[in-house]
Amino acid sequence: MKALPTLLLPLALLAAGAHAAKPPQGVPAGRVECIVPSKPGGAMDLTCKLAQKGLQALAGEAQRDVHISYVPGGIGAVAWHSLMSQRRADPNTLVVFSGGSLLNLAQGKFGKAKADDVRWVAALGADYGMIAVRSDSAYKSLADLVSALKKHPEKVLIGVSGTIGSQDWLKIALVMRAAGVDPKVLRFVALEGGGEAFTAMDAGFVHVVSGDASEATLYAAKGKTRVLAVLSEQRLPGVLAAVPTAREQGVDVVWPIIRGVWMGPHVPEADYRQWVQVFERMMATPQFAEARMAYGLYPFALTGDALADYVRKAVDNYGKRASEFGLVR
């Protein structure tokens, strides 16, 4: 079976470029709003909640008002254009992003938007792709699912966040192509966010979810979900420790996911740098490390200029992968 390359530049290598933390002046005054560009319940939501918890836990900031708003639509495009048109200079509005956001940028799904159009603040952690079914599913392994899709692909509905070309779509398309299944025969159901995808599977509307390990951690812990494979280099610790990687099952696909926050392009330089320092301080605390683990994310911290450089490279790399499927506009 032909091996597929890792989809993003090695996280550990790029993390070495992160800036050392500098003494911050504190969180800018006023209420902070963290925007989730999807419906509640998915990994984007978890990222905002992690930032909220981390900011509120900073010494002297325990009463900090960090409000979470949900702006779903267009697999992130609505939130992107909303901030760009209304809050370009707002120093207290943060927007969550993931590797899926960067993939959308690479494919032109945010219109003419480019990576340098916004200010990248901080990467809070790493996640990985995964493939899951209900706990009572007849599919006990990735091989079982592949076999079913080879025989009767029309009988298996796959729930993904977004449409054709989205991150969740591309993950399972790569996995199935590597396993010998033509992605064109797969039946997808486009949903708005990972939370909605798992809800649809729990209700029996879809049979499989292509999503993220952080999301699966929550649902697997409740006993409702069986994760067939994680798309990581090695098995993941915690709730999913017993789940084999796709590589272990003969399918050499790895999909790491960055998760973080950005802000508008016209935010004053002083405010932007202040936020960068605040996140550096936050991510250096043991409390944040504990919260990150609880939310199913793994160590990966980049801020400011180092993060912006990572994003540019990642968008370029995603564009090359997407072009293999004719997805780049």
Residues whose CB is less than 8 angstroms from the CB of residue 10 and which lie 6 or more positions away in sequence, other chains included: none
- Considering the entire predicted model, what is its pTM? 0.80
Contact of 181 with 153, CB cutoff 8 Å: yes
Would you state the pLDDT for residue 166? Answer: 86
Would you state the pLDDT for residue 146? Answer: 97
Contact of 172 with 145, CB cutoff 8 Å: no
Residues whose CB is less than 8 angstroms from the CB of residue 319 and which lie 6 or more positions away in sequence, other chains included: 106, 107, 328
Backbone angles phi, psi at 81, to 5 degrees: -70, -30
- Rounded to an integer, what distance in angstroms lies between the CA atom of residue 78 and that of residue 265? 17
- Where are the domains positioned within the chain? 11-127+256-323, 128-249
Would you state the pLDDT for residue 13? Answer: 38
Contact of 322 with 328, CB cutoff 8 Å: yes
Specify the CATH architecture of the domain 11-127+256-323.
3-Layer(aba) Sandwich (3.40)
Q: Angle at CA 308, nearest 5°, toward 57 and 86? A: 75
Would you state the pLDDT for residue 179? Answer: 96
- Rounded to an integer, what distance in angstroms lies between the CA atom of residue 7 and that of residue 234? 15
Would you state the pLDDT for residue 218? Answer: 83
Q: Hunting for tokens 């709003």 — which residue is that?
A: 33
Total count of residues recorded for the chain:
329
Would you state the pLDDT for residue 329? Answer: 57
Burial 3-31 (b: 16+ CB within 10 A, else e): ebebbbeebeebbeebeebeebeebbeee
* Alpha helices, H only, the chain: 11-15, 43-57, 77-86, 99-107, 142-151, 167-178, 194-202, 213-221, 269-283, 286-294, 304-323
Contact of 73 with 81, CB cutoff 8 Å: no
Task: Compute the CA torsion angle 260, 264, 270, 272 (nearest 10 deg).
Answer: 0
Task: Compute the CA torsion angle 265, 268, 271, 273 (nearest 10 deg).
Answer: 70
Per-residue pLDDT 10s for the chain (329 aa) are: 333 333 444 444 334 444 433 434 455 666 899 999 988 988 899 999 999 999 888 855 544 678 999 998 877 888 998 898 889 999 999 999 999 899 889 988 888 889 999 999 999 999 999 999 999 999 999 999 999 999 999 999 999 987 888 889 999 999 999 999 999 999 999 988 888 899 999 999 999 999 999 989 888 878 889 999 999 999 999 889 999 999 999 999 999 999 999 999 999 999 999 999 999 999 999 999 999 998 889 999 999 999 999 999 999 988 888 888 777 65
- Rounded to an integer, what distance in angstroms lies between the CA atom of residue 224 and that of residue 283? 32
Would you state the pLDDT for residue 245? Answer: 98
Domain at 128-249: CATH code: 3.40.190.10
- Among left, alpha and beta (phi > 0; psi -120 to 50; other), residue 189 is beta
Would you state the pLDDT for residue 60? Answer: 57
Contact of 149 with 181, CB cutoff 8 Å: yes
Would you state the pLDDT for residue 17? Answer: 41
Would you state the pLDDT for residue 27? Answer: 57
Q: Hunting for tokens 């968008």 — which residue is that?
A: 315
Would you state the pLDDT for residue 19? Answer: 41
Would you state the pLDDT for residue 220? Answer: 84
Would you state the pLDDT for residue 193? Answer: 80
CA distances from 325 to 30, 112, 196, 249 (A): 45, 21, 26, 24
Would you state the pLDDT for residue 6? Answer: 39
Domains 11-127+256-323 and 128-249 share a fold: yes
